[in-house]
Amino acid sequence: MTDPFQFSKKLLLAQRQALEDRAPGEAVATWVELANLARAELQRLGLPASISTSGDPVSLETPPGVRIHIDDRYPYGVLFSWHAPISDTESFREKLIAQKMDDPLLTQVFEVTRMMERAVHRLLDKAGFRVFIDNSAHMYYEFRILAAPARLRGTKSV
């Protein structure tokens, strides 16, 4: 598995904020395999999971459940988040656009999202994946999948 932090480190050492710098194809290929293994494990546990990449077209409709994202640009690597179907509704979007952050609906969705992301982190950890909660942005957490368990390395993902 290719360590995603090596690319971020290169940017920092070069004192660049070059967000357009892409990881090489070989690195991305290892991340695709890792994402597929994580998705298969989550689905085996009964959690819906989908995979997206940096090159995917932007869509307002995202499948519910765990969203595994492969990023070939900063922040690089395999990240995951929780996507609740209610966040696709018109009423949720209106409240979000109006920045009604004290609205009970927004508060509940954000709290559930945080709980589910931590639960997925623990599930993957218990399954043997190397996972990491990255707070380098200092504003929010990025949940990362860094490596598959040894028992799954070299196997074909479902």
Each residue of 44-58: pLDDT tens digit? 999 999 999 887 766
80: β partners: 68, 143
Average pLDDT of the segment spanning 98-122:
94
Answer with the residue of higher pLDDT: 13 or 106: 106
Residue 151: the pLDDT is 79
* Segment among 8-12, 104-108, 133-137 with least mean pLDDT: 8-12
Q: What is the pTM of this model?
A: 0.82
CB 7 within 8 A of CB 76: yes
Residue (of 136, 145, 117) closest to 74 by Cα position: 136
**Distance set, CA 71 to CA 12, 85, 91, 139 (Å):** 18, 23, 30, 19
In this model, does residue 75 exceed pLDDT 90? Answer: no
User: What is the chain's mean pLDDT, rounded?
Assistant: 85
CB 36 within 8 A of CB 155: no
Of 26-30, 55-59, 81-85, 92-96, the poorest mean pLDDT is in 55-59
14, pLDDT greater than 70 = no
Rg (CA), the chain: 16
Q: For residue 30, give the amino acid letter.
A: T
